[in-house]
Structure formats: structure tokens, C-alpha cells
């Protein structure tokens, strides 16, 4: 198996609590991915756990802080589960689209600490968040064309975040970029020197947002979402469905070649 930062090790423990969520007294809902051995890969159980955590938002929630444990925020899909069944991969793509729009449509601001690596589906998650904190040595991007997968599912919010030129280059080029370049093109909103500094900054930012008058923030986010198309399901559905339906023999062959090295 190759040692790319977006390829997860296949180990898995069934009783691992994949996602934890806890709301602090100041209204920050902390959501944390806890599958470090697989670089917090997005599989069926992880999607389920994230849906549950997001649904924990309540009337007292003023900000959501999303982070990941271990060496990376999220290395993308659990690809090993898809090698012999592309229908699973199709499901992952459609569920990722739903997850991105769930994050985007939360009434309150969403802060994500994207340390270590946020690759492919992990990078797509960042585009659904309002504030993205990273570190200099972290890696970001969509290197999925080489295994016959289109990153089109991320294009709606990637385009919003980066603008046409940078979004086109990142989505088509498949380049993995560092924290400094990610900040320069607009993928990150904040850049810190290290993972520890990024975690501290993300917490500081979440606390600061939670301390602001909530109705004013929520009204602002509501109208940002209204005007940029984030509330329109068709805006998300078309690229997600096309990306899922484009999978075929090319994808199957490339996935097998990758995992049998």
C-alpha cells in the first residue's frame, strides 16, 4: 500500500467512539473525530456519527467547533471499503454532499481546526465551514483523479470559498498544498505555526464568536447562505449525483491497483 497522506490504514475497532460531541457552558458545541488510526476516514459509521453530533445543536448553541484527533483532521473516504463495491463509494459521495450542506446551513458559525491533513473528502468538509484554522505544515487538496474519482461534489462550496480561478486550479490540478498556500488562495481563514497553535486559535475563535450577540450573527449567516445559493438543494445535488454516477471500470481498476501495491 502506498504511503500517501490521504490513504488510511485499514485497521478498525468496532467499539471505537468515532465522534464525540459536548457543549460547553458558553454555547460552543465541540465535535471531535476520533478514528486516528484511519486518519479519521469518512466511512458509513463516521458519517452516521457526524450526523448525530450535528443534530445535537440546540437553542443554546452559539458556535460549532469541529476538530479531529490524531495526526490528521481527515484523510478522506475510507477507500478500502470501496475497492470491491463502487456502490459504497457512490453512497459516500452523496453523503458527503449532505454533510457539507448540513455544516453550511447550521444557523450559527462553524469553526474547523484542520490540522495535519485535510485531503479529498476531508478537504471538502472545510468548504462547508465558516472559519478554517490550519497550520503551516498541514496538507490540503483533492488528489483523487488518479483513482478515477471526480471531486465535483466539493465544487459548489469550494467555488464560493476560493473564487473561480483558484477553485478550478485546485479541483482540476489535484495538487496537495501546504498551509501557507491554502491561506493565500482562501481555503484557510487563519494560519498558525503548529498543530497546538491551530487548536488554541480555533478554540479562541469559537469562544469569541460564542460571546457575540447570536441573533445578529445568525441573521448575517442566513443572508450569506440565501444569496450565495447554499440553501438551494439543486446547487449541491447536481454535481454530487454526476460525480457519483461517473464511477466505473476505470475507478475500479485504479482502486485495485492502489490497494494491491
Domain membership of residue 57 (yes or no) is yes
Report the distance separating Cα 24 and Cα 50, nearest Å. Answer: 18
Q: What is the pLDDT of residues 43-53, one digit of tens each?
A: 999 999 999 99
Domain membership of residue 9 (yes or no) is no
- Mean pLDDT over each residue of the chain, to the nearest integer: 92
End-to-end CA distance of the chain: 5
**pLDDT at position 261, please?**
55
Q: What is the DSSP letter of 68?
A: E
Q: Where are the alpha helices (DSSP H) in the chain?
A: 44-54, 86-105, 121-127, 155-162, 164-173, 179-185, 195-210, 214-228, 233-245, 249-259
Considering the entire predicted model, what is its pTM? 0.91
**pLDDT at position 9, please?**
34
* Structural domain total, the chain: 1
Report the distance separating Cα 90 and Cα 247, nearest Å. Answer: 8
CATH of the domain at 219: 3.90.226.10
| Beta-bridge partner residues of 32 | 20, 67
Residue 53 is part of which domain span? Answer: 19-193+212-259
Domain membership of residue 61 (yes or no) is yes
Q: What is the pLDDT of residues 44-98, one digit of tens each?
A: 999 999 999 999 999 999 999 999 999 999 999 998 888 888 999 999 999 999 9
Report the distance separating Cα 209 and Cα 197, nearest Å. Answer: 18
Among 155, 109, 151, 117, residue whose Cα is nearest residue 134: 117
Amino acid at each position: 500500500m502506498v504511503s500517501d497522506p490521504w490513504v488510511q490504514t485499514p485497521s478498525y475497532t468496532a467499539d471505537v467512539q468515532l465522534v464525540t460531541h459536548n457543549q460547553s457552558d458558553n454555547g460552543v458545541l465541540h465535535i471531535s473525530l476520533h478514528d486516528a488510526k484511519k486518519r479519521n476516514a469518512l466511512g458509513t459509521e463516521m458519517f452516521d456519527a457526524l450526523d448525530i453530533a450535528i443534530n445535537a445543536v440546540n437553542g443554546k448553541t452559539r458556535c460549532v467547533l469541529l476538530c479531529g484527533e490524531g495526526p490528521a483532521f481527515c484523510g478522506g473516504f475510507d477507500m478500502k471499503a470501496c475497492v470491491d463495491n463502487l456502490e459504497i463509494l457512490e453512497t459516500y459521495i452523496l453523503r458527503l454532499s449532505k454533510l457539507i450542506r448540513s455544516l453550511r446551513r447550521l444557523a450559527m458559525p462553524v469553526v474547523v481546526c484542520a490540522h495535519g491533513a485535510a485531503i479529498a473528502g476531508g478537504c471538502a468538509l472545510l468548504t462547508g465551514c465558516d472559519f478554517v484554522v490550519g497550520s503551516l505544515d498541514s496538507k490540503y487538496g483533492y488528489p483523487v483523479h488518479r483513482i478515477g474519482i471526480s471531486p465535483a461534489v466539493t465544487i459548489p462550496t469550494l467555488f464560493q470559498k476560493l473564487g473561480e480561478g483558484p477553485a478550478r486550479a485546485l479541483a482540476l490540478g489535484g495538487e496537495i498544498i501546504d498551509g501557507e498556500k491554502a491561506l493565500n488562495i482562501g481555503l484557510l481563514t487563519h494560519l498558525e505555526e503548529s498543530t497546538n497553535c491551530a487548536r488554541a486559535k480555533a478554540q479562541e475563535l469559537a469562544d469569541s464568536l460564542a460571546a457575540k450577540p447570536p441573533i445578529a450573527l445568525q441573521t448575517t449567516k442566513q443572508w450569506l447562505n440565501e444569496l450565495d445559493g447554499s440553501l438551494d438543494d439543486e446547487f449541491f445535488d447536481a454535481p454530487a449525483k454526476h460525480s457519483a454516477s461517473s464511477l466505473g471500470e476505470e475507478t475500479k481498476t485504479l482502486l485495485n491497483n492502489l490497494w494491491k501495491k
